[in-house]
Every structure is written in C-alpha cells, then in structure tokens.
Structure 1
C-alpha cells in the first residue's frame, strides 16, 4: 500500500493536476484516484487478499496504470501480461502462476478469451473488465459458490508487489517477485537525486513486461508530475517521436542505449535540433552497455545541456543499484561507460574465487541490499543459488545477489562493466538466455541440433546467430512463424547458418570459437534486382541500415543480418520516405523488399 499512499498524497494535495496524458485523453489525479478506488473496491468484493496474484492483460494506458495501483492498494500482487506476448509464452506463464483474477478491458477481452480457449487453459472464473471512458468495471462469468476469502489487508514494506517474467536459462521464462519496499526505495532515490517535481513529465517508453516500466510510471506519480503515454507506433517514427517529446515538454526520460542511438542518429541526420526545441534535462540510460561513442555522438548534436546518466541493476535487486553521472567524462569510442557507484542502501562487491578483488582485478558483481526482490517465484532452488547468505549484514542485510556480470573497480573507485560469465545477454534492453532460445529451436522438428551465439557488430549492438544441423534446407519463413508463437521478437536470430556438424572440442563439448563467422555479404549474383521505384527506394534503405553492398527483392531480411532493432530503423525510414507505417508484426511476416513495396503501394498515405 506504500506505493499507492505516495500517489494518494499527491492526489489530495493537487487533485486537478494532470496525472496521465495520452494522445487521445488525459486524467487528473483526483479522477485517477476515483478509478483506482473503483477497481480496488471490486477486488475486495471478490475477496482478493493480501499477497494474491492478479494478472493484468492490457496495453499501456490509463486503465493499466489505474489497475496496477488498485492492485497495490488492495495488498495483492500485479503481474503484467502484454497482449503482444506470443500465445505459447502466455500459456506457459498462466499455467505456472495461476493468477486469482485477470483484469483486462473491453477491447481485449475477446482476444484474451480466444487465447485461453485455443491453449486449452481452464477459463478463469473471475475476469474483470475496466471501462475508463464510462468509469465502470464489470465482472465476466464469475462462478457462484466460489470459496470465500477475507477482506484485503494493507501491504507492508516486506510484502510482494509485482511479478515480472524474464528469459530463463532452463529453457522456460522465470518470474521475479518484487517487493513494495524495493520499488519504493528506488523511486524515492531517483526523485531526490534528480530533483523530480510536480513539473516533471516522463514518457512511458518501456514495455509493460519489463520491470523498468515501473520507473516511467511511479517516479512522476510519486512526485505529482505527469506520465506521458505515446501512441503505440510512435517508436517506429523516430523523427516524429523527437517532435512528440518537444511538443509535450518532456523533461526526464528513461531509455535503453540502442534506442538512444536511433534518436541520436535521427537528430544528427536531419539537424532536428535546429527546428525542434529540446526540452529534456535528464536522460537515464540502462539495460545494456553504453559506449563512449554514444556519448560523443550525442554531444556532437546536442552539446552538454542534457544530463546523461548510466544506470545499472538487475531486476532481482529492484531496479537500478549503481549510477554514473557522465558529465564531461571521456573515454575511447569502444570503451564502455562506467556503471558508477552504488545508490544509498546498496553495497557492491567484486568477487573472484570467494574473495573480494583488488582494484583493476576482474570478478563477478555481488549486490548486497535490503531492498532486493524475493527471488524467483515458485523456484526456491534457483533463488537459493543466486541469493546467498553472507557473514556481513548491518544496513545492507545479510543476503547478496550474484549477478553473473563481470566487472572491475577503477583507480577512482568506479565500477567498470566487463561482460558476462554465462550465456545471458541483453538485446534492446531485454534479457535473453541463449539456452532458452536453443531449447525452442531444438524443439523444431526439421532441426537436428541448434547452437546460438552472439555476434557483436560495429554498432555495438549484439545480434544472435543460429547455427543448425538439418538433413534438408529449412524454410526460414516457416521457422520464424514457429518462433513467433513461443518467443518475443527480440529473441529472434539475425543469422541462420546451416552446418554439416556442430564443432566439438577435445572434451566433446561445443567449441563455440570454431563456429564460422556469419557472411558479411552474400554472393551478389544470387540477388534478384529491384523492380520499380518503390522497391528500389526500399532496397536503398535496406542496404544503408544493414551495411550491405546489395540485397535482393526476394531475399529474406532474416537471412542477411536482420534484427528487431534494424527492422525498427527500416520501418522508421520507410514511414518517413513514403508516409506509410508498416507494423513490426507485418514486417516479420513479410520480410522481403517486394512484399514491403506491395504494402506501401496498397496503403493510403497518412
């Protein structure tokens, strides 16, 4: 209840202030509080009690934010379930967690019902529909005679608050169980550190299935500011996104470095700052390594008026636990920006072979904090393995989290990221466990054996390469369709490489170092030339984004190094060139130049 109370204090102090603003509507603190109470009262009427899990099947919007605050007020635990989740992944989550109630809205109920039915998931007896426009809630198909529960009890600082799913090394996603106090600690720190006030405007950019979305929501609402929610397609129109930032006077942003690079590139390419006032005071970057080349590129187009801050912290320790104000700090282009120093209430150790490392010595990052998560929901074995008891306690508690990240301490006391000691990487800020992807690919019948590795290109953006053994050639489009049903798009490989056999070392283990590098350029003679002006313009965009000399009109994007981030770049460029928006799902379903050109020709100009 602590998180809701912070919001309620602002609602009582300035009820007419705008709490949330979308392109279509806005809602005041007073009206949002009324909606929260409406949903919370309905939850209590169904006996939803302290610690019970409530699924939230919604897109970003006023309904979603009101719902998670209402769940928080009731003492229950919210679990975001984005409608864009592949159906098999949604099924896996629901069969593992069994939320007591699922809350959705009228526009999504039919879709949710079809998904539950198609996966033979027992129909949930309690599904709540939230209607923001008419300020109503409706219970659908609630069974009579359901077991009676006591009324909700107030949350306290040790209670669970949320469940977020992330990629798992066992081949299945794992749920991290966050706490009220862990969320509250980070939000209050960010507000104090960056002087967040009622004049602060923060956009909700992170996916709802990503725990950092909580920063975008709770930081402004704790401080009496405003959450700005962009149109779902805006991130594919980078120049329009930049204009949206300016029009809405947004002044504080959380962003992953890969998207930061897209914004920087667009600003430089079109000199947008000459015509668009830049209102942002702080950009907080997290989720993947940030390089000094990113900082230099930003300074070239914007100067030093915006504060750039690097954040670090796994979901298991409740959002960020290290930060570094970059300021006028400099380094070589390929050098990673330091993670910095711990925020108050956190202690960092660099450990190697059970002992703390000296300055400059590489070891694993251990985080000790009293504001950590409870670990992995329903997986005590994994929790005990990653959260270990230490001899020291005091203000940081007696448990440390083993991050799996490698780092060293610099001479001036900063923590410097080096890499990972396992097969987990970050793609566009999202965790990807290579074992989970390998497991999904190995289950595909035409593939006899699958190995996935990481390819680091010269844009510092890691990409995934699939090496596989199969008796016959595989239809990549069919494989992509299979993957789209079980995995999010950011986990799709960019390269598909067929081998006669997977190389092994002397011990009989996979020799990843012996795997061939993906070809930088396919034989030009294999490419069919573009036909017509639209195809040729799209071909030019592909060559520029993919850094290739030539591509074919009928060549799949995913056989020549395509990735979800590069797809976003291409979609943005096509939208700018033709004033036609291509959905990412359509791009993945029809990943050839000839298909994209056909879509452009058939779609009315926006």
Structure 2
C-alpha cells in the first residue's frame, strides 16, 4: 500500500524498546503510523503522530481502484510465479522489502516462519523442509548455521533451489560446501549493497562446491548501477589494487533525512558521470577488481586495525580460522579492555572439542605472528543483531584468568618471575606453569618482560628463551645457564681509521648520489623559556613519533596517564 501510494516507509521492529521506537518516530516525523492492536506505539508517540490500526480498519467505503504510480515492472526483482519463498529477514532489514515485493509482484507464495523458529537454526531447517521452501534470503552467519543444522539432521532440502545472502562477506567453509553438494541443482547468490543503495553487485555460485573459493566475490554491478574502486584522492585504482568502493546509479538514496552533514560526507559528487549533478555513495568498504573482472570484498575501512605497528584486516584471520576442520564460524575483533592494552581476540564456534591454543597454533602456522589472536574464546553461537548480522558489541570480554597448574613456586626465582609475568600481562596473578602467550602475551610484551628479568637477576637472557620456555617455571630453570647481563669492558687498540657509523654512511651515500643539498639542514631553531613540564614534553614527543608510524601505544598511554595525574595534582 505504501509503495502504491508513492510514499516512503520507516520499518519499526516490534522487538525494539519503546524508547527506541519513540526516538525513531520523533526523528523521522512520519505522517502516519501503520500498526496493529497488539503493537501500539508508545503513548507519547501516538499523541504526536496519527496511528492507523490495520486490524480494525473498515475498508468497505474505501476506493477499489489501483492508485496511479510511477513505478515500472523492471524496478522490482523477478521470479517464477508460484515459487514458495521464505520471508526470513527482519522488517528493519532492507532485504525484507526485496523478499516481500518480489513475491507479491510476481505471484510467488510468501511463507513466513514464527519468530521462535526463525531464531533456532535446527527448527528453521525442519520448517524449511516441511513447508517445501524453494527460495531463501539470509545473511552469511545464518546460512552457515542452517548448513550445519541441515548436515547434522541429514536433511538435503532438495526443494530449496535458490539461496541468496547479503550484508556480510560470504564464506564457504567445509560444512557449507557439504550442504550444497547434497543438492547439485541448488544455486547460491552473493549479493552486495549497503542500505543506502540496496543491492548493487551480484555473483552466482554454481557447479561443484569443491571448486568454490573460500570467500565468494561480490561480483559485477547489476543493471543501472556503476561501481568505482577509488584511492584517497578519488582516483581510479588499477585492477588488483585495494581501494574504497563508491556506488552510483539509479539505486542511490537521496541522503539521510534531517542530517545534511552526514549526507554531504557520504553522498559525494560523481566525477566520472556524464550527467552533471550526479552523486555517488561512499560505502566505506575496501574492495579490489580480480582477474575475472569481478569485485572482491577485502574488509571495512573502519574495521581495519593497526596493532603494534602492523596494519591488520580481521577478515583475513577469520577466513583462516574457518579453514580449521572443527571451526564452523569465526569473528575477530580488537579489544582494549585495559587502557593501553590492545589485543586481537578471536571468537569461534566449533562442532567438536577444541582447545583455544589449538586454534591459535593453527593461525600461527598460516599467518605472521602479529596476526595471531592473543586470545580465542569458544562460543556456542555468535551473537547476531535483529538483522542477522554479527553483533560485535555483544561479544563477551575474553577471560585471561590463569588456570594455574596447582603447583606452588619452589624457589624465590620462580616467584619473582611469576610476579613479573603478572605485571607485564596486567593480571592479578600468574601460576608457575601458566603459558605467557596463552594469557595474551605477544612479541612486544615479551620484549618488556625480558628486560625486567634482566634487571631483576642481572643476567643476559634472550627473547628466544621466552618463546621456547613460555612459563615462569621453565624460564627460571634457564637462569642458571644464562650469562652475565653485561660483558666486561676491556681496553682496545684504537685503529688508524675509525669506521663511519650507520647514520654517517647514510649521509655520505646521499651526498655522493645527490650532491650538496639542504635535506639534512636544520630549518628552524626555537628557544623555549619558562619552567619545563617534562611529562607534557614526553607526551608530545611520543605522539609525534607515533604519528610517524612507530608503535608506542602502551608507552604513550602510560605517559598520558602520568601527565593527567600531574595536571590534576594527584602526584607531586
């Protein structure tokens, strides 16, 4: 009815809290609220906006003619009449409009599951089978759960011939391949498109699932859509080069209602359009063109992280984790549960018993050490939003609490090293046989720990020792074989020609290659007068160095806290 009236609608999920519904209605200021008796809006909302209860509506005196509208048949998604299609996604997810309209406008049968069935993968698979559903649209994590439940129940779902997903990267793990192999005629579609544009690209997977890639491409632009992969200066990047995806064409929204600033930031002029005034939408997604001329999703520009100086894409780690035969789903996030302690944490759903360290070792064998999660949390299922996407905010904090071995420390050395482990890791206590790296340790923390051990025992102990020993007890056992902390100074004969330092060699090389230049001249001298605030100067220096690409996050945090305490007068 809204479509035929030529209007726009704002979907309000009945599961939303009353305050959320009131905020959305107040923000959008709609002309009318359409609902039923069982889902009345909050009282203050009803007072400000007219409400029409559809279940009490008397249509006897209403016009029976079809409203005139400007829509054309080619503006909706087609399908064969009579097809039984599931209406799975929540009404607040833009895909729900695609599900409903493609059914209502082309004579399909729209089959709607109960909410309890929709949230239970095992019951949902049984429901799909009993209702002979032929088309299903759901996000990737839901499809993975459906595939796992179908394999466990030995339900091939032969009537389910068409599956489509959007909203997340489509990963094709072993269970998903096994499920699709059971019905070779089934076709899997990977759609891509943010809410601001809806679907803009598509890729179809068919044939033998064993030949499918681990992560499906998002495909080519659909009709009336243009896709640009651009650099930071809005320049087109070459195939194979990662850039940000910009979308233009008939499906791009007008903007954000009542938010001109946000609209100007995300909806920008299209420099490659033939018609003036054309805009494109900045998706914030990182993609690249592959050799087949299709787009591959790399990750989110705002999810890409930098840890200890390394730029990391969590999606790459997630793909590796799902290659493990016991892992069915994985999510990787960066957490800072303690100020200045940024950790990479993986959350996995397994089909068989798996120790967290096994998952970390699996990643370590395939990715650099800086991409190995500090912790792996085992979950029964990944938390999802009402739209079926990963709810990152609902992921629990990892438990770094040491399990301990039950053995008490036997020597003062073991106790001191246990205390040093706890200090560096930021834990209340560490057992003598607790693994440093299983407790969240990494290479930078290992370097800090080694420095403290050297200072405490006046011995020379290498970083390799910690990576090999891993526990306080094993490290203590190696102290007796460690050498002195410093080599004794002995008098040496001064050579006739003193060799240049590395910095001097660099200057000499540049001078020979470029000739005299002002590259290393000091361009400015500043004289500072007054009392020196050392803490403030240190913070500024550290921030400057960190801005040049150095990884000094923990040090910067420590100095910032020291400076704040100084300013607030909490320390002399």
| TM-score range normalised by the length of the shorter chain | 0.5 to 0.7
Q: In the alignment, which residue of structure 2 is the partner of 1:407? A: 287
Q: Which secondary structure does the structure 2 equivalent of 1:80 belong to?
A: coil
Are 2:220 and 1:393 aligned?
A: no
Post-superposition shift, 1:234?
0.6
For residue 88 of structure 1, report the CA deviation from its aligned partner.
3.0
**Alignment root-mean-square deviation, CA:** 3.9
1:437-448 alignment, distance < 5 Å: none
Q: Where does residue 363 of structure 1 map in the other structure?
A: 243
- Name the residue aligned to 2:144: 261
- Pick aligned residue for 2:160 from 274, 280, 296: 280
User: CA shift at 1:249, angstroms?
Assistant: 2.4
Q: Per-residue displacement from partner, 1:384-434 (whole Å, max 9, x unpaired)?
A: 221211233348982221111111111111111111111499xxxxxxxxx
- Which residue is equivalent to 2:107? 224
Q: 1:213 aligns with which of 77, 96, 113?
A: 96
Q: Which moved more, 1:285-294 or 1:341-350?
A: 285-294
Larger Rg: 1 or 2?
2
**Cα distance change on mapping 1:372 and 1:567 into 2, 3 Å:** closer
User: Among residues 124, 130, 146, which one is paired with 2:48 in the alignment?
Assistant: 124
Within the alignment, does 1:462 sit opposite 2:331 as a pair?
Answer: yes
Q: What residue in structure 2 maps to residue 74 of structure 1?
A: 5
Measure, in 2, the Cα distance between the counterparts of 1:346 and 1:379: 25
Matches within 5 A, 1:535-554: none
Tell me if structure 2 keeps the 8 A contact 1:292–1:331. Answer: no
Q: Superposition pairs for residues 20-59 of structure 1, below 5 Å?
A: none
Q: Tell me which of 207, 212, 219 is aligned to 1:328.
A: 207
Offset at residue 99 of structure 1 (A): 1.8
Separation in structure 2 between the aligned mates of residue 258 and residue 344 of structure 1, nearest angstrom? 28
- Structure-2 change in CA distance of 1:403 and 1:518 (3 Å): closer
Q: Distance in 1 between matches of 2:278 and 2:384?
A: 45
2:162–2:188 CA contact under 8 A, matched in 1: yes
Which residue of structure 1 aligns with residue 189 of structure 2? 309
- Alignment correspondent of 1:292: 172
The separation in 1 between residues aligned to 2:49 and 2:217, in whole angstroms, is 50
Residues 330 and 464 of structure 1: CA distance in aligned 2, closer, same or farther (over 3 Å):
same
CA distance in structure 2 between the aligned counterparts of 1:293 and 1:564, rounded to whole angstroms: 16
1:380 aligns with 2:207: no
CA distance, structure 1, for counterparts of residue 193 and residue 140 of structure 2 = 15
Equivalent of 2:302, from 422, 432, 436?
422
CA 1:137/1:561 → structure 2, altered by over 3 Å: closer, same or farther? farther
1:368: how far off? 1.6
**Against the structure 1 CA distance between its residues 155 and 241, is the aligned structure 2 distance closer, same or farther, given a 3 Å change threshold?**
same
- Distance in 2 between residues matched to 1:106 and 1:84, nearest whole Å: 15
Distance 1:259-1:352 versus aligned 2 partners, 3 A rule? same
Quote the Cα distance in structure 2 between the aligned partners of 1:347 and 1:222. 26
| Alignment partner, residue 89 of structure 1 | 20
8 Å contact from structure 1 (residues 204, 217) kept in 2: yes
Provide Cα deviations, 1:487-542, integer angstroms capped at 9, x if missing partner: xxxxxxxxxx4x2xx21xxxxxxxxxx51345989xxxxxxxxxxxxxxxxxxxx9
Q: Of 504, 508, 515, which residue of structure 1 is paired with 2:342? A: 515
- For 2:354 and 2:15, the matched residues in 1 are separated by 30
Q: Distance in 1 between matches of 2:38 and 2:271?
A: 53
Q: Secondary structure at the match of 2:343?
A: coil
Provide the residue aligned with 1:171 in structure 2. none
Unpaired runs of 5+ residues, structure 2, are: 306-313, 323-327, 357-375, 386-393, 396-572
Counterpart check, 1:340 vs 2:225: no
For the residues of structure 2 that align with 1:250 and 1:93, how far apart are their CA atoms?
34
Q: Which runs of 5+ in 1 are unaligned?
A: 1-68, 139-151, 158-180, 426-452, 468-496, 504-513, 522-541, 550-558, 569-586, 589-606
**Deviation string for 1:197-255 (max 9, x for gaps)?**
21112111111111110111000111111111111111233333223223322211111
Distance 1:349 1:326 in 2: 23
TM-score for the superposition, normalised by structure 2: 0.53
Distance 1:543 1:413, change over 3 A: closer
1:248 aligns with 2:131: yes
- Any conservation in 1 of the 2:150–2:179 contact (CA below 8 Å)? no
Which of 199, 202, 214 matches 2:85? 202
- What CA distance in whole angstroms lies between the structure 2 residues aligned with 1:251 and 1:358? 40
Q: Which structure has more RCO (C-alpha within 8 Å, separation ≥ 6)?
A: 1
Q: Decide whether aligned partners of structure 1 residues 282 and 300 sit closer, same or farther in structure 2, where only a CA change above 3 A counts.
A: closer
- SS of 1:263's partner is helix
Q: Which deviations, in whole Å up to 9, do the C-alpha atoms of 1:270-305 show, x marking residues without a partner?
A: 2123xxx52111101111011232685345652422
| Alpha-carbon spacing, 1:302–1:394, altered in 2? closer, same or farther (3 Å) | farther
What is the Cα deviation at residue 72 of structure 1?
Answer: 2.6
Q: 1:322 to 1:85 in 2, by over 3 A?
A: same
1:364 is displaced (CA, Å) by 0.8
Q: 1:245 to 1:135 in 2, by over 3 A?
A: farther
Compared with structure 1, are the counterparts of its residues 131 and 330 closer, same or farther at alpha carbon in structure 2 (3 Å cutoff)? closer
User: 2: distance between equivalents of 1:252 and 1:223?
Assistant: 14
Check conservation: 1:128, 1:137, Cα contact below 8 A.
no
